């Protein structure tokens, strides 16, 4: 669990930095407000986190990912009648005089 959480947070911050920052601010405000019995700060924190989460879900639902099939690329020619490659030979050259 300890190794999964930092990896998840890093990927979230890389993908959507503004949404992640607003969520962090809202959660921290809610925690501070809840622990200090400051209900107005708690409400602001929950409101910020809730609005940010709703915005993220709305934006993800608006994005339509096109379904495209990638063309198949053949890097090698189809099999020929000979299963092995021809042997390469290196001819020794005489040095020019």
Which tens digit of pLDDT belongs to each residue from 28-43? 999 999 998 899 999 9
The mean pLDDT value for 47-74 works out to 83
Dihedral angle computed from the Cα positions of residues 12, 13, 15 and 18, in that order, rounded to the nearest 10 degrees: 120
- Percent of residues, the chain, with pLDDT higher than 90: 29
Model pTM score: 0.55
Quote the distance between the C-alpha of residue 94 and its chain's center: 59
**What digits encode the pLDDT tens for the residues 81-93?**
556 666 777 777 7
Q: Do 84 and 62 touch, CB atoms closer than 8 A?
A: no
pLDDT above 90 (res 67): no
pLDDT value at residue 66: 67
What tokens were used for 27? 């959660």
pLDDT value at residue 54: 93
pLDDT above 60 (res 49): yes
Q: Do 20 and 12 touch, CB atoms closer than 8 A?
A: yes
What tokens were used for 49? 């986190």
- Count the Cβ atoms, other than its own, within 10 Å of residue 49: 19
């Amino acid at each position: 669990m300890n190794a999964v959480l930092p990896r998840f947070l890093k990927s979230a911050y890389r993908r959507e930095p503004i949404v992640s920052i607003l969520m962090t601010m809202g959660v921290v405000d809610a925690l501070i407000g809840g622990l200090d019995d400051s209900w107005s700060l708690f409400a602001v924190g929950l409101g910020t986190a809730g609005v940010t989460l709703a915005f993220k879900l709305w934006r993800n639902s608006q994005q339509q990912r096109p379904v495209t099939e990638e063309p198949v690329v053949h890097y090698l020619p189809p099999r020929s009648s000979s299963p092995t490659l021809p042997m390469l030979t290196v001819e020794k050259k005489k040095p020019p005089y």
